[in-house]
Amino acid sequence: MGRRRKRVYGMLIALLALTMIALALLPGVIAWGKPAPSVSAAPDTKNDSPAAPPSAPQNASGEKNASLKIATFNIQVFGESKRSKPDVMDVLAKTARNFDIMAVQELRDDTETTLPAYLDAINSLPGPDYAAVSSPRLGRTSSKENYAFIYNTGSVVLVPGSNFTFADPPEGSAADLFQREPFIARFRPLSDHASAFDFALITIHTDPDTTPQELIDLPLALSAARSRYGYETDFILLGDMNADCSYLTPSESATLALRNSSFLWAVPDDADTMVKSTDCAYDRIILFGSAQEHYGGAWGVYRFDDAFGLNQSVSEGVSDHYPVWVIMNPEK
């Protein structure tokens, strides 16, 4: 090969090298080989951490990673007759969506189809889906009831396998303590602070004829929950406790172990939780253990009559009780 041809080849090779260097320096140019990944590329599949949820958890008010609003509601004789009334079901469905968890008493339906119908009504409204867990039918008479916890799946999760009904009579006793044994379950917030605040709910509907005795024995259900859940320290007792007026007098209330300094009665004695003219605080929420540290200090009676502009007659068709609620702060 002559010198002229060698010089030409050398110049071509040098030109090609300079071209490749220039291309590499241009911003945004894809490198040789497979295309560069886009900004929204999937995370490294070798990462063992779980994938992020599609959206941030929302509480009942639509706020993200916020406090939890926990309620209890005796929906008076809630069965096939009441659920057949669209106006009543509309109020009940809208009411449930105000809370992240709502303990329900007086589900009376031997077909046990009222709770699924109620959930359908709740989930027909805009917002996160709600789910429920319920007890067996309970009671010494033919008029039996289910308890239920109805909860916002966008803000809390039921701890799998945690729900149980208090064994009555308790081991080692022949005494039947409760007309309707307390129903218990654990929940965990879907928030950045879930590990700091999982909690147990214990709900009860006392028998008006034996309210003082049932409230004396209610700490046994708390003890059963503490034993079952091991290291759990956050407990909330809630329900229609009939804890006022003629069913529980001030002198009877003062003798209860539930009144010692280990318990915080968030719904006070002067509250009125009844729809009718009776001025009584039958429905209560009591905090035990480190649940008190997460208490937001806010409680209330949810007056669905005022919320939806109902007259007295229509309101009494919904229930003779109002829901009562507390705010719990997982971040505390």
Per residue, what are the HEC states of the chain? CCHHHHHHHHHHHHHHHHHHHHHHHCCCCCCCCCCCCCCCCCCCCCCCCCCCCCCCCECCCCCECCCEEEEEEEEEEECHHHHCCHHHHHHHHHHHCCCCEEEEEEECCCCCCHHHHHHHHHHCCCCCCEEEEECCCECCCCCCEEEEEEEECCCEEECCCCCEECCCCCCCCCCCCCCCCCEEEEEEECCCCHHHCCEEEEEEECCHHHHHHHHHHHHHHHHHHHHHHCCCCEEEEEEECCCCHHHCCHHHHHCCHHHCCCEEECCCCCCCCECCCCCCCCEEEEEEEHHHHHEEEEEEECCHHHHHCCCHHHHHHHCCECCEEEEECCCC
Bridge partner list, 188? 157
Q: Check residue 331 and give its pLDDT.
A: 79
Q: Check residue 313 and give its pLDDT.
A: 96
Nearest CA among 209, 205, 185 for reference residue 282: 205
> What is the domain extent for residue 141?
70-328
Structure tokens at 171: 């081991």
227 inside domain: yes
Q: State the CATH number of the domain containing residue 277.
A: 3.60.10.10
Contact status, residue 148 vs residue 140, Cβ threshold 8 Å? no
The total number of residues shown for the chain amounts to: 332
Q: Which of 8-12, 199-203, 207-211, 315-319 has the lowest mean pLDDT?
A: 8-12
1 inside domain: no
Q: Check residue 172 and give its pLDDT.
A: 73
Q: Check residue 60 and give its pLDDT.
A: 77
Q: Check residue 330 and give its pLDDT.
A: 87
234 inside domain: yes
Residue 4 — very low, low, confident or very high, per pLDDT cuts 50/70/90? very low
Structure tokens at 71: 């309620």
Contact status, residue 258 vs residue 224, Cβ threshold 8 Å? no
Percent with pLDDT over 90 in the chain: 73
Average pLDDT over residues 190-194: 66
Bridge partner list, 102? 71, 150
- Let me know if 145 is a catalytic residue: yes
Bridge partner list, 134? 148
Residue 29 — very low, low, confident or very high, per pLDDT cuts 50/70/90? very low
Ramachandran assignment for 70, one of left (phi > 0), alpha (psi -120 to 50 degrees), beta (any other): beta
Q: Check residue 94 and give its pLDDT.
A: 98
24 inside domain: no
Average pLDDT over residues 215-227: 97
Q: Check residue 250 and give its pLDDT.
A: 96
Contact status, residue 320 vs residue 274, Cβ threshold 8 Å? yes
pLDDT above 90: residue 22: no
CB atoms within 10 A of CB 72: 31
Task: State pLDDT tens for residues 143-155.
Answer: 899 999 999 999 9
Structure tokens at 296: 């937001």
CA 273 – CA 152 distance, rounded (Å) = 24
Residue 300 — very low, low, confident or very high, per pLDDT cuts 50/70/90? very high
Number of domains in the chain: 1
51 inside domain: no
CB atoms within 10 A of CB 30: 9
75 inside domain: yes
Residue 63 — very low, low, confident or very high, per pLDDT cuts 50/70/90? low
pLDDT above 50: residue 318: yes
47 inside domain: no
Average pLDDT over residues 72-96: 98
Active-site residue identified among 106, 181, 205, 214: 205
- Let me know if 205 is a catalytic residue: yes
Residue 296 — very low, low, confident or very high, per pLDDT cuts 50/70/90? confident
pLDDT above 90: residue 194: no
Nearest CA among 135, 133, 147, 267 for reference residue 206: 147
Q: Check residue 62 and give its pLDDT.
A: 66
Report how far apart, in Å, the C-alpha atoms of 259 and of each of 286, 288, 328 are: 10, 11, 21
Q: Which of 12-21, 29-38, 222-231 has the lowest mean pLDDT?
A: 29-38
CB atoms within 10 A of CB 59: 23
Ramachandran assignment for 22, one of left (phi > 0), alpha (psi -120 to 50 degrees), beta (any other): alpha
Residue 6 — very low, low, confident or very high, per pLDDT cuts 50/70/90? very low
Contact status, residue 284 vs residue 243, Cβ threshold 8 Å? yes
Active-site residue identified among 145, 181, 214, 232: 145
Residue 64 — very low, low, confident or very high, per pLDDT cuts 50/70/90? low
The rounded mean pLDDT for the chain is 85
Q: Check residue 24 and give its pLDDT.
A: 41
